[in-house]
Structures are given as structure tokens and as C-alpha cells.
Structure 1
Amino acid sequence: MTFPKRLPDDRPFVRATALAPVLRHFEGREAELAEILAAEGLAAGALRDPYEEIPLAAYLRLFEAAARAAHDPVLGARLGRAITPADLGPTGLLLAQSATLRLGITRFLGALAALQSATEMTFTEQPDETGWLGISYQIRGAAKASGAQDAEFSLSSLCQLLRQCFDRGWSPAEVHFAHAHSRRPDLLERLFGAPVRFEQSANRVLFGEEGLDTPRRTEDAGLIAVIERHVSDLVRAQDPEMSVSDRVQLVVSRNLGRAPVDLGAIAAALGMAPRSLQRHLAQEGTSLRALVQAERRQIAEAQLARPGTRLKAVAATLGYSDETVFWRAWRSWTGEAPSRSRD
């Protein structure tokens, strides 16, 4: 079944069922949880309905507040390890009913809009130069800078669901986050069972092809059809198409440092002819070069603002061959050397 791809971004939301791990964590501490919810104008009663739509921005702030209240800098990743398919409603159940890892990932990502809007999760099925496949996670629009807890919870939940549904021994090869490193990166690596890298161009899980098409169960076609119909009903209406420039920006941030961001690669990722992509961008008053430079500059500015960041690491994140190329690019953007931006 083909689902409507997205819900409108003007009122982004997440369904209350996604907060199930947070509610379990605060069992016996209801007063503390009520205070956190009240700060966002939410009542605990509103969360009893798993289909209740919680404003996405409030959900993101709530997760950060919960981590502070728990005095746990990696609460999101820790709660992700406690997720179950049922916690994510029909989206999670669709994953659990799939015969293979590839089918499960594809269905899960296709049904994500029923659970959370203004969100992109993309499966890169062709190995990159390291031989890895990847799933990236991004929030669109005003909530793009979602915070560490949501990003870590989302990727940790995904890894846990893949273990539960397909292979208890499954683990990623590497995990990337766009935010700065946690106060306890050692705990994150232990929770993910893989190296964790920060200040990357996107949040992503990288893994190998092994077992991707190995049958794990016999599918119940009737049950899957019912779940898919329910997902489609939840999505309700297809949103207006994103602008081409917004779609390009998402692909660029996903690919930087991992895959090409040239015209041919971006056009192929969007299913467009290169000339058609150029024409659409021109009509929107921009170009691929301008969008790539803007994304690189935004990431570079954020990284250079953090003490101790090495130019070599910034260059690698941005997909440059070495720090000299980055140095020249920064000079062309700002008129000064990168080192002066730290003064």
C-alpha cells in the first residue's frame, strides 16, 4: 500500500503513544511528571489516548526537561532501549509483522507520518564508500534543531525495534548525531553497541547488508493489509508538496560527508532529471550550489562555535577532501580565516 507521504508542517505533531517510555520512566513520580507536562500546557489525562496529537515542539522540549529532571544526559537513548513495537501503534506493529529486515524498514519509514509529522526518515539502500547502508532521521521546518534527547531516542528506538523484530544480535556499525557530544559519550556507545560520532551533517544509523533479506517469519498478508489501511486512515490527507529547494536541502544535509552532493546525485535522489532540478530551483530563486554552500556554512558555524573543534573534523563533516579546501571555502564566505571566527 502507498501511504500519503507527509502531513502538513504548519501544525507538526507527534502522537501521545510515542511518550509511553517517558511515562513508564516516571511511574511513582507522577507529581514530577505533571510539572513537566504543565510547563508545556499538557495534562497527564491528555496522554491516556495514544492517538492524541501532541504539538511536536512541546514534545521535543518535554523530552529535554525529562532528561534534566532525571539527571540523566542520555535519557533518550536509554528509553529507546525500552521501546516496544506496540509503543508506536500501527507504525511499530507493521514493522513487527514484516518478513525481512528490508521490508520492515521500508514499511516503517513509509508509515512514520501516522506517528509523527514534519519528519524525514530515509533508508539509503546502496552501500556508501565504506560499504554501509544507512537510515537518517531529520525534522523539518521550525523544529529542525530538535535537541539531543529526541535524536538519541529516535535512533536508539529504531535500533531496539530492529533487534526485537528481526535479530537480537543486530547492531549498527556506527551512529551519527548532528548535535555536539553528550556529557557521557561512553554511555551512548554502550547503549548503541557501536561507535558514536557527533557534529555530523545528519542523525543516522549505519549498518551492513548482512541479513537484510533473510526471512524471519511468515507474513500474515491479511493482518498487514488491515494495519496498512489503519495507517492510511491516520495520515488522513496528503500535504502540499514541499518546495524543491526544501527537498534538496534535506538530501544535501543527509549526504554531506557520506555521499556526493553534485547535481547528478541530488537529482537522482529526488527522482528528477538534472535539468529539471536546475529549472525548478531557478524558479524558486536559488541553485544547488547556493543550497549546498548554505548548508555547509550553517554546519560549519555551529561547529566552529564549539571550543576545541578541529578544522579537519569540520572539513570531513562537510564532505571536503581536507582542511585546506574548507579554509578556502570559509574565507570565500566570510572574508576571514576560520580561526578568527573563534575569537
Structure 2
Amino acid sequence: MTSETLIRASVLGNLHSLLASYGLAPEKVALLSGMTPADPGDETALISQRSYMDLLHLCALETGDPLFALKLGLRMVAGDLGVLGLLAANKPTLRTAIESLNEHFRSYQQGADIAVEPVGDGLVRLTYRVGERLTGGLEADIDLTLGAALAFFRRFFGARWRPREVHVVYGPVAHRKSLERVLDAPVWFLQDANGFTFEERLLDESQPGAEPQRATALEAYLRQIHAASALEADFVSSLRIFIVSNLAIANVSAAAAAADCGMSLRSMQRRLGSRRLTYERLVDETRRDIAERLLATSPLSIAEIAYHCGYGDPANFHRAFLRWAGETPAAYRRARLATN
């Protein structure tokens, strides 16, 4: 069972700063795309992945730059990818980072595959395949992903790092020279997978700034979610698992939850009502459970915990936690550390 992927509008900050660099007003593009000017700063505003791709297409038209999506991807940082990005950023080597991404990304997006394949002469190729891709916005989707992957590699090896060659599944484009100039590598079109080639020895180089203890905590957290998903069959438990799995990307609307359960919104509300529950209460209780567990057992900062609980603004998380526990997140953490 799947539901349409939703994206928190507040993550479009990089998009708006890039638009501003072209001399365009972000508010204008927001209105043209069907968003209100306030949406980009509103953690409760959601747009579908389809709308996001349409927005990228509109940005390319407004800026006159067919490489807009690629440049947006190049601006991404690990935190933009949520729990998975933070996990990868704290793995000791590139090899272990890619292995973790592949293991957990498959659980979040069915049919997706990230792999490292040998190509000979001491080279390997990072590939990214998805069984079902968007039919519209395909090129923008690929360019955004490639840009994000290159940004991640440059976190390891420096801003001047470049791949040997880049592969894409789409056909030749009129702006090929510009594409190769931005990627700083030759591009091969109509390939069987998207990705790029690099030296195999780089896989085992140490990642600067990695915190293995943090990676261990994040990985244990993700595995706990996946294990629970496999074992829990109860309706309410399934809803809780859906909420936990999607809080960090803000895909926790009641409509999305109902679709994931294969039922109408009204049917879900009726079943919850028979147990004297509401979906809003489940979301609130799940957020509190995650917050208390991470504050007591993980090395994550309070801002990071707020994000994993679905709060883009730590101040909103602070107010919610005061309501739940009668004390601030920092005070709660200090008390648990003192007890332990």
C-alpha cells in the first residue's frame, strides 16, 4: 500500500535562494505554482512530489535555465535528506554510507536501488535505479538527484572533486555542453541507470566530521521502525508505524495515512472513533514518544530531534514538549542523564 509522496513546503528554502540569485521574486513563482507566498516558511504546508516536479519545470522556464534542477541539487546538504542523510553523513567511509543508504532507502521507496558496480581499471560506478519513475519531469528529477549525489561526494572529497563520467537514462539534450560544464564530466545518454564513475579507492577513505556514535543511534532507530513495520499488524499500530516512518518528511496527513491503509478517510476516522481515538491524537502521542525516547537515549541535538518529530521550527517543538511533559526538552534530557 502506498500513498502519494508529500514534501514539506518549508524545505524549499534552497529553491527560493537559488531563484533570488537569478533576480526573480520567490513569491511570484510560488503563486504561479499554486502555492501561497507564505507556504515556503510554513512547516504545515505540504505539496505533492508531482507538484514539486512541476514547480522545478516552472522554475526552469522562469529562469530560462534548463539546469535549474541540477543546480538546486548541488546546493543540498545532508540534513535536507532527513534521517537518511544524517545517517550517511556520519558513517566513517563512503562505502558504509552508501551501504546504509541502500539498505534503508529501499524500505522507504519500493523498487529503488542504489548500488556500486565495478567497471574495471580501478573504477566503480554509483548507480541509482527506480522501478517506477514519474513520466513527467523525468529529466528534472534525475538532474536533481545527480546534483544531490555530487554534493554528497564533495562533502567527502572537497568542492573541486569531479566524477570520471556521468550516465543518465534520458536522451541527448540541446544543452549538453552546459550540462557537462556544470557536472565537470562527460555525460552518456540513454544508459540503463543514472549515476557516475569514480575511483574505487575512494570508497574506503575516511569521511571528515563523521560521528560514528550518532550514526549508530540513527541506524538503530531506523531498524527499529522497519522491524516494527514487519511485525505489527494491528490497525492502530500500523497507523503509528506510518506516522513514525513519515514524520521527518511531513507525510502524515490523515488523507495520506488513510491511503496508505487502503481505505477512505471517512472509514479510517470511523474505525478510530470506535476505539475512542482520533488521528490527530495518534500523531501527537507518536511525536511525544519519539521525542522522549530520542532525548533520553540519542546524541542528537534538540533541533535535530525536533525535525525527526515533524517540526521544522524548534520553537514549535519546544512549546509542544512543554505541553506534553510540563518541562522543556533540555530539562527533560538533563533529568534522564542524571538518572542514568
Interval of TM-score (by shorter of Structure 1 and Structure 2): 0.5 to 0.7
Does residue 107 in structure 1 map to residue 100 in structure 2? yes
Amino acid at match of 1:175: V
Amino acid at match of 1:31: E
User: Which structure 2 residues correspond to residues 129-208 of structure 1 after superposition, within 5 A?
Assistant: 129=120, 131-141=122-132, 143=134, 146-208=137-199
Once the two structures are superposed, residues 24-45 of structure 1 have per-residue CA deviations (whole angstroms, 9 ceiling, x without a partner) of 223461332222430xxx4454
Task: Provide the residue aligned with 1:123 in structure 2.
Answer: 115
Structure 1 residue 237, shift from structure 2 partner: 4.2
Q: From the superposition, tell whether residues 66 and 206 of structure 1 become closer, same or farther in structure 2 (CA, over 3 Å).
A: same
Deviates more, 1:185-194 or 1:46-55: 46-55
Structure 1 residue 72, shift from structure 2 partner: 0.4
Q: From the superposition, tell whether residues 203 and 21 of structure 1 become closer, same or farther in structure 2 (CA, over 3 Å).
A: same
Alignment counterpart, residue 35 of structure 1, candidates 19, 31, 36: 31
Give the Cα–Cα distance (whole angstroms) in 1 for the partners of residues 96 and 40 of structure 2.
31
Structure 1 residue 67, shift from structure 2 partner: 1.1
Amino acid at match of 1:123: A
User: Which structure 2 residues correspond to residues 3-152 of structure 1 after superposition, within 5 A?
Assistant: 8-14=1-7, 16=9, 19-27=12-20, 29-38=25-34, 42-43=35-36, 45-48=38-41, 54-112=47-105, 117=109, 120-124=112-116, 126-129=117-120, 131-141=122-132, 143=134, 146-152=137-143
Q: Residue 195 of structure 2: SS of its match in structure 1?
A: strand
Structure 1 residue 171, shift from structure 2 partner: 2.0
Give the Cα–Cα distance (whole angstroms) in 2 for the partners of residues 135 and 97 of structure 1.
19
Q: From the superposition, tell whether residues 11 and 85 of structure 1 become closer, same or farther in structure 2 (CA, over 3 Å).
A: same
Structure 1 residue 159, shift from structure 2 partner: 0.9
The answer to whether the 8 A contact 1:173-1:194 is kept is: yes
Give the Cα–Cα distance (whole angstroms) in 2 for the partners of residues 130 and 159 of structure 1.
22
Q: Residue 60 of structure 1: SS of its match in structure 2?
A: helix
Q: From the superposition, tell whether residues 217 and 118 of structure 1 become closer, same or farther in structure 2 (CA, over 3 Å).
A: same
Name the structure with the higher helix share: 2
Once the two structures are superposed, residues 159-204 of structure 1 have per-residue CA deviations (whole angstroms, 9 ceiling, x without a partner) of 1111113444432111111112233211211221211112222222
Amino acid at match of 2:30: A
Amino acid at match of 2:182: L
Does residue 220 in structure 1 map to residue 203 in structure 2? no
Deviates more, 1:52-61 or 1:75-84: 52-61
Amino acid at match of 1:227: L
Give the Cα–Cα distance (whole angstroms) in 2 for the partners of residues 49 and 127 of structure 1.
44
Q: Residue 181 of structure 1: SS of its match in structure 2?
A: coil
Structure 1 residue 71, shift from structure 2 partner: 0.8
Give the Cα–Cα distance (whole angstroms) in 2 for the partners of residues 105 and 32 of structure 1.
38
The answer to whether the 8 A contact 1:17-1:87 is kept is: no
Amino acid at match of 1:58: S
Structure 1 residue 100, shift from structure 2 partner: 0.9
Structure 1 residue 73, shift from structure 2 partner: 0.7
Q: From the superposition, tell whether residues 113 and 24 of structure 1 become closer, same or farther in structure 2 (CA, over 3 Å).
A: farther
Q: Which runs of 5+ in 2 are unaligned?
A: 232-340
TM-score (normalised: structure 1): 0.56
Give the Cα–Cα distance (whole angstroms) in 2 for the partners of residues 82 and 17 of structure 1.
16
Q: Which runs of 5+ in 1 are unaligned?
A: 1-7, 240-343
TM-score (normalised: structure 2): 0.56
- Aligned Cα root-mean-square deviation (Å): 3.3
Structure 1 residue 57, shift from structure 2 partner: 1.9
Give the Cα–Cα distance (whole angstroms) in 2 for the partners of residues 111 and 164 of structure 1.
21
Task: Provide the residue aligned with 2:240 in structure 1.
Answer: none
Q: Residue 98 of structure 1: SS of its match in structure 2?
A: coil
Structure 1 residue 89, shift from structure 2 partner: 2.5
Deviates more, 1:24-33 or 1:65-74: 24-33
The answer to whether the 8 A contact 2:74-2:151 is kept is: yes
Task: Provide the residue aligned with 1:4 in structure 2.
Answer: none
Once the two structures are superposed, residues 302-342 of structure 1 have per-residue CA deviations (whole angstroms, 9 ceiling, x without a partner) of xxxxxxxxxxxxxxxxxxxxxxxxxxxxxxxxxxxxxxxxx
Deviates more, 1:166-175 or 1:188-197: 166-175
Aligned length: 227
The answer to whether the 8 A contact 2:11-2:40 is kept is: no
Q: From the superposition, tell whether residues 93 and 151 of structure 1 become closer, same or farther in structure 2 (CA, over 3 Å).
A: same
Once the two structures are superposed, residues 268-325 of structure 1 have per-residue CA deviations (whole angstroms, 9 ceiling, x without a partner) of xxxxxxxxxxxxxxxxxxxxxxxxxxxxxxxxxxxxxxxxxxxxxxxxxxxxxxxxxx
